[in-house]
Chains A and B, each alone.
Chain A
């Protein structure tokens, strides 16, 4: 135990001279508050933000009533060549399509079924992404010339990203021929994923199977 601490104590913080200059001095700036409810509450007296600056609000983080962190992240993941506006149009059109399809089903259904049909596209999209979260990831570990695919545990943010990336790649492949638009394919995928069906769910299950098969390599985890 003390050996570890001594190792830790010996590390010194050396500044690198790379050109990664943060315009927000990290000693004096903190992240802004994005939740509207939290904004209304006064800060604790000894909260450090009473004495420090807060970074400027990001362009896509205005606390509008439809602000959703999962959808915002999906928009960022689907961005290509820096064209975020196109990506936003696609994702919001996909949400609209989901809503239209659910509305049509809802209008046809009888009173009992009506209660079980979800109309809110944000709820469906969140559920769909959540169902696609993988539990483990495969990372290549090279030992003696061979690269083994080793299963590693995964954190929530990374699992979310991997789910979105899987879905985005599947949709892009399907939309490549140009007859169907990316937004419609994404809508189909999100709807299916919220019911635990669809290609992204299949891909996630394949990943889990491979992780299970490779569990012998787990001891390669550093």
Chain B
């Protein structure tokens, strides 16, 4: 509605108000340009949405007729199938394929603002391009100041809970991604702005005393499990199988460590025999090698219960550029082969003896060691070593 009764005298909000109506008349006043533009945009948006909704409805009916379906049967899934059938697309990006959705889902939303009685928008962010995210940043700024003040006032005093004076505990979680934040704030913004928001968040979270704002910070954190998926880094715990001839349970897995790939099979109801590339445990002359190979049994307290059979190979020898490398040169020294077999054995033991899964995981035996040989750099003899430095 364009006509708004003004209670107060106009303070000349508008620059262009050609005809100034006398104050004492409780009649239509010129409203601020901001509100005028807003109302115009709002009207346009409403009209557009109406039009699109009507078009969508028409489209639905046509589609129903084309696909010989009843209009009431045509839900969104049916529409998707129909579009896929009628407009088959070879485009790889799903967002690039043709889509038919209700306009409320697809078209940009109109941001509602509140205006006071004079036609002034409440809050200056109406005039910015990304009001919501600037609002968030302001909020963070205000909270930062208040946290600093809280800390200054309460450090050393006994009246406050000691936990409140610590920085916020945000372990096990990470900041929500830019896409999620856009959805949360229902606003689009650039990546630079997102980076600035994260910097501000990090700063707030690092302050001592930010524990009081734990709740606010947690709203913008998501747990790590969302990205880690399973609790294991590396191959998963294998399935238990039963050997046909001997009727013994066994599990088999393939892992690697540095340059050595190992396929390990652990068989239940055994005597503690090892067969690694035809070698027995006493063929491993170093005490450390034997310690490494027996580690899963020691932790799961199953010494002498399982038999281990493993075959190993050199990864770099099987790569296409292998002919250029020196043959039989395997990285990892004495411990790589035992470590690869240990990882495989631990996974299989966890499969055959599930109650030991948690101790094995906590001791780090179920983790694939991601460390590889560091590449040697130009102008240096090795990865880190430098030539002898001469002052002159």
Contact = CB atoms under 8 A, between A and B. Distances in A.
Given A12-B203, A85-B334, A36 B228 contact: no
Given A9-B207, A28-B228, A34-B363, A51 B172 contact: yes
Contacts of A43: 358, 362
B364 A56 contact: yes
Nearest to A10: B203
Contacts of A42: 358
Interface size class of A (residues with CB under 8 A): 35 or more
Contact of B291 (A1, A51, A53, A64): A64
A131 B338 CA distance: 37
A63 interface: yes
A12 B343 CA distance: 40
B341 to A, nearest CB: 13
Contacts of A9: 144, 148, 203, 207
Interface string A160-177: 000000000000000000
A27 interface: yes
A62 B362 contact: no
Contact of A59 (B202, B288, B298, B363): B288
A56 B368 contact: yes
A140 interface: no
A49 interface: yes
Contacts of B288: 59-60, 85, 88
Interface of A: 1-2, 5-6, 8-9, 12-13, 23-24, 27-29, 32-34, 36, 39-40, 42-43, 48-57, 59-60, 62-64, 85, 88
B228 A53 contact: yes
Nearest to B370: A23
Q: Top 6 nearest A-B pairs by Cβ distance?
A: A32-B364, A56-B369, A57-B364, A62-B291, A48-B172, A2-B152
A34 B364 CA distance: 9
Given A23-B372, A56-B368, A64-B298, A12 B362 contact: no
A33 B152 contact: no
A13 B202 contact: yes
B309 to A, nearest CB: 21
A29 B368 CA distance: 12
Interface string B208-248: 10000000000000011100100111000000000000000
Nearest to B375: A19
Contacts of B225: 51
Nearest to B359: A39
Interface residues of B, number: 48
B352 interface: no
A8 B371 CA distance: 35
Nearest to A59: B335
25 contacts: A5-B148, A5-B151, A8-B207, A9-B144, A13-B202, A23-B370, A27-B174, A28-B224, A32-B362, A32-B363, A40-B359, A51-B223, A51-B224, A51-B231, A54-B363, A54-B364, A55-B367, A56-B343, A59-B292, A59-B338, A59-B339, A60-B288, A62-B292, A62-B295, A85-B286
Interface in B187-212: 199, 202-203, 206-208
Nearest to A46: B172
Nearest to B174: A27
B171 interface: yes
B132 interface: no
A54 B367 CA distance: 7
Contacts of A85: 286, 288, 334
B269 interface: no
B294 interface: yes
A34 B287 CA distance: 19
Given A5-B148, A52-B224, A64-B298, A39 B203 contact: no
A59 B258 CA distance: 13
A155 B365 CA distance: 31
B46 interface: no
A59 B286 CA distance: 12
B148 A39 contact: no
Given A5-B208, A40-B359, 16 more contacts: A5-B148, A12-B203, A23-B370, A27-B224, A33-B363, A39-B359, A42-B358, A51-B172, A51-B225, A53-B228, A53-B231, A54-B364, A56-B364, A56-B365, A59-B338, A60-B288
B299 interface: yes
- Specify which of A40, A56, A60 lies most central, judged by the most chain B CB atoms within 10 Å of its CB: A56
Nearest to A29: B233
B330 interface: no
A6 to B, nearest CB: 7
B12 interface: no
Nearest to B226: A51
B33 interface: no
Nearest to B300: A39
Contacts of B295: 57, 62-63
A56 B367 contact: yes
Nearest to B334: A85
A1 B152 contact: yes
B13 interface: no
B361 interface: yes
Contacts of A2: 148, 152
